[in-house]
Amino acid sequence: FMVGKGMAQFEEVMRQQLESSMDTEMDKLLNTATGADREVCRKDFAGFKNLFHRFLQVKGPSVEWIKIQRPPEDSIQPYDKISARGLPNNVANSLNKLVVVKLNGGLGTSMGCKGPKSLISVRNENTFLDLTVQQIEHLNKTYNTDVPLVLMNSFNTDEDTKKILQKYTHHRVKIHTFNQSRYPRINKESLLPVAKNLSMTGQSADGWYPPGHGDIYASFYNSGLLDQLITQGKEYIFVSNIDNLGATVDLNILHHLVSQPNGKRCEFVMEVTDKTRADVKGGTLIQYEGKLRLLEIAQVPKAHVDEFKSVSKFKIFNTNNLWISLPAIKRLQEQNAMDMEIIVNPKTLDGGLNVIQLETAVGAAIKCFDNALGINVPRSRFLPVKTTSDLLLVMSNLYSLDAGSLTMSPKREFPTTPHVKLGSSFTKVQEYLTRFESIPDMLELDHLTVSGDVTFGKNVSLKGTVIIIANHGDRIDIPAGSMLENKIVSGNLRILDH
């Protein structure tokens, strides 16, 4: 027992020394800041120190598997039940209490693009941001309302995004932005910051990162925008990833929130949808110590990962479409009561240095809010574009575009999207675009796999299961006007112009 006690004391001393060293380093960094920058950094660093303190306290996994329970029946409502109530005559009253927030901190690097991901063209020359603005403008015109758009940028996306916002000055949407915090990457060995100064260029640029979308609560509050919107009578934000093209404002969910009696008003709604085999890594909702809670794969003990991925035990996953009460965010921020699990994200910098990033996820705060609810929405509300395979789907005739919203074509006989896997020759958007003279007809497609050096001529039509494999050194050109139905094409196929 004494040994155990001595060990605990030793660990506590080590923890205190680490915190003290971290405080010293952070103060040194802060002293290199000037003017308005200094105040922003001070707030950011206070948030980081709090996260670092919690990181040092954490012992073992954040959930005990044995305590996990399925959520009670009424804590995840089917969307049909919510929409069956119908809409009131005064939809505008509810809309005027809403703010749309898009998470816009990500770069397009995974798709081979420079700059913010939201500026990639996804449909008829429209970018993710264009489509978002069109959707909200359509709402404001239809119902004569004033729903603003708020973009949470990161230091990676802020400058480029602000430049582009000038083109929307004559649209009927007020657009606000605020910046995510800037946190220091930590050396994995010493647990001290890598950066030597606040510069975002040269040597120190690698030393900083935006700490995940869980940072929305603190940075929104710190920016002053949260208070400003509450003063204007706004009550709820609808938060989603800017690359989820299914995340449009849903009037039924909004009405459900606004029409609850005040004492029982729901402060947090997470839209979830049924898991398919493609979604095994998505976070899910559980009941834990009497609260609804988000369980992410990173929190699952290794021995239970297969169980977590099973479609039968955990049937739904988080779409990251969230509806959150503004006054509740303010209250929890002021009480310092936002409690989100820490995600430790290991990275290797270009020079080979191993670092860790401490991050949090916006949905993890669900357990802090009163009367939180999951709503099981149709799959169509989850249409993320993470890869060029996703991009091919949304550019195709599977979807029609109306006022910025994509809807599945009524000509498709079944509501599920085809499974598309494009090989590494298609990873970068620029290269992907050169491989299609026009986007194939995919209305009757179930599955498409393409691997190797493959190009598609104009007006190709794909049906059923199509697999096209060009072996190394070979090339396959699918001729213009081809119709491939349940076909496997492999080898070499060059179409020569005569």
Residue type at position 371: N
Residue stretches of the annotated binding site: 117, 180, 212-213, 243, 386
Residue 325 has phi, psi (to 5 degrees) of: -75, 125
3-state SS, residue 69: strand
Query: Which residue numbers are catalytic?
Result: 386
| Strands, E assignment, 409-481 | 419-422, 441-451, 453-456, 461-469, 475-478
Helices and strands, counts by H and E, the chain: 13, 25
Pull the structure tokens for residue 132.
Answer: 């978002």
Residue stretches of the annotated binding site for UTP: 117, 180, 212, 243, 386
**Exposure b/e, 437-474, CB count within 10 A at least 16 = b:** eebbbbbebbebbbbbbbbbbeebbbbebbbbbbeeee
Query: In which region does residue 336 sit, left (phi positive, over 0), alpha (psi from -120 to 50) or beta (all else)?
Result: left
Angle of helix 35-57 relative to helix 2-30, nearest 10 degrees? 170
Query: In which region does residue 455 sit, left (phi positive, over 0), alpha (psi from -120 to 50) or beta (all else)?
Result: beta
Residue stretches of the annotated binding site for substrate: 213
Pull the structure tokens for residue 57.
Answer: 């306290």
Give 99's strand partners: 237
**Exposure b/e, 204-236, CB count within 10 A at least 16 = b:** bebbbbbbbbbbbbbbbbbbebbeebeeeebbb
* Cβ-based neighbour number of residue 267 at 10 Å: 23
Tell me if 160 sits within 8 A of 115, measured CB to CB.
Answer: yes
Pull the structure tokens for residue 256.
Answer: 């459900």
Pull the structure tokens for residue 64.
Answer: 């005990």
* Cβ-based neighbour number of residue 57 at 10 Å: 9
